[in-house]
Copies of this chain bind each other. A is one copy, B any other.
Amino acid sequence: MANQPEITIHDIAKKLNLSASTVSRSLQDNPVISEATRNLVKRIADEMGYRPNILAANLRTRRTNTIGVIVPLINRHFFSSVISGIEEVAYSRGFAVTISQSNDKHEKECKIAQALFANRVDGIILSIGMETNTIDHLKLFSERKIPMVFFDRVVDEIKAHKIVVDDYGGGYRATQHLISQGSKFIAHIGGPGNLKIYENREKGYFDALNDAGIKIDKSLIIHNNLSREEGTKAVVKLMQNPVKPDAVFCANDTTALSVIIYLLENGIKVPEDVAVVGFSNEPFSEVVTPSISTIKQPGFLMGQKAAQLIIQQIIHQKEEPEYKTIVMPTELIIRKSSSRKQ
């Protein structure tokens, strides 16, 4: 690597006729070293262009001051908000953050987990991928008692702090809102069944319908991976259904967008004929026409909270905390795609 010779604490020590220990302690501002020496060392270190080799320090201290983050896709507004929240807290507390994306692939998630472990991150914050249904790759961390914090897409089988959004409440309020706009045949396009978050959104949908005395019609419910393409397929199918929906509650905004585009292209008015609500408050949901009603999730706050929890555990390693699941509130944002009454 270094073409220029690497400058180490030993070089500084030699130059000053001190020992490496003294140099090391000085650089850490250890008060057992006299202030004069400390300042001298720091000045010379600076002059010599000394750069600590964190690898060496980490190896010795068995701490990396690094938090690993695994998200399905950094490209999603929600996830990048969470990341920003994590970074803010982490940096302020002297931790570095390394971000990896699993692309929702189980295999990649495993590889990332291995890599993070091999690099001895002090803790990891993660939201599991859509494909993931086994958790063997996470045993690594639980066995070695490396703190984990799950957010959004959590898994029940592992004991750890979990931060979720109130998916149930979001689903409930979204559906309730559609009902309040006069819809009677409310379809639902949900995500894969292995993920709690989608299950909860659907549960909210069910309960809202029940509470309003509307019978659940299974033919109006479709599950897919919530992509743009699958969303279009889903709405095609829904509109061919014997019972035609007059509203759709989509488990994400992307699907909502697919639905809206398809409907408009086929001369079906939104929200008049079919009202639509999405989920996540992606940036585009505000700027498309009609703007999409959706459920806002406090991503940044979740990230901050996650970082706090993980750092807390990293610092107080010995005692096992009482693991808790924090439910963050969601907020219904009513926009044009579902506003029939003015």
Which residues on A are within 8 Å of B, measured CB to CB? 1-4, 6, 49, 51-56, 58-59, 62-64, 73-75, 77, 80, 83-84, 87, 91, 96-101, 103, 108, 111, 115, 117-120, 122, 140, 143-146, 257, 261, 283-284, 287-289, 317
Contact = CB atoms under 8 A, between A and B. Distances in A.
Interface of A is mostly: mixed
Nearest to A77: B75
Contacts of A73: 80
B64 A74 contact: no
Contacts of A97: 100
Contact of A62 (B1, B143, B145): B1
Tell me how many chains of this kind the complex includes: 2
Contacts of A118: 51-54
Contacts of A74: 74-75, 80, 83, 99
Nearest to A80: B75
13 contacts: A1-B317, A2-B62, A2-B144, A4-B144, A53-B59, A53-B120, A54-B118, A54-B120, A73-B80, A74-B99, A91-B108, A99-B99, A284-B288
B99 A87 contact: no
A1 B144 contact: yes
A59 B55 CA distance: 6
A275 B91 CA distance: 44
B287 A55 contact: no
A58 B91 CA distance: 24
A166 B52 CA distance: 40
Nearest to A317: B1
Given A74-B83, A80-B75, A145 B51 contact: no
A51 B117 contact: yes
Nearest to A88: B103
Nearest to A83: B74
A59 to B, nearest CB: 5
Contacts of A96: 115, 119
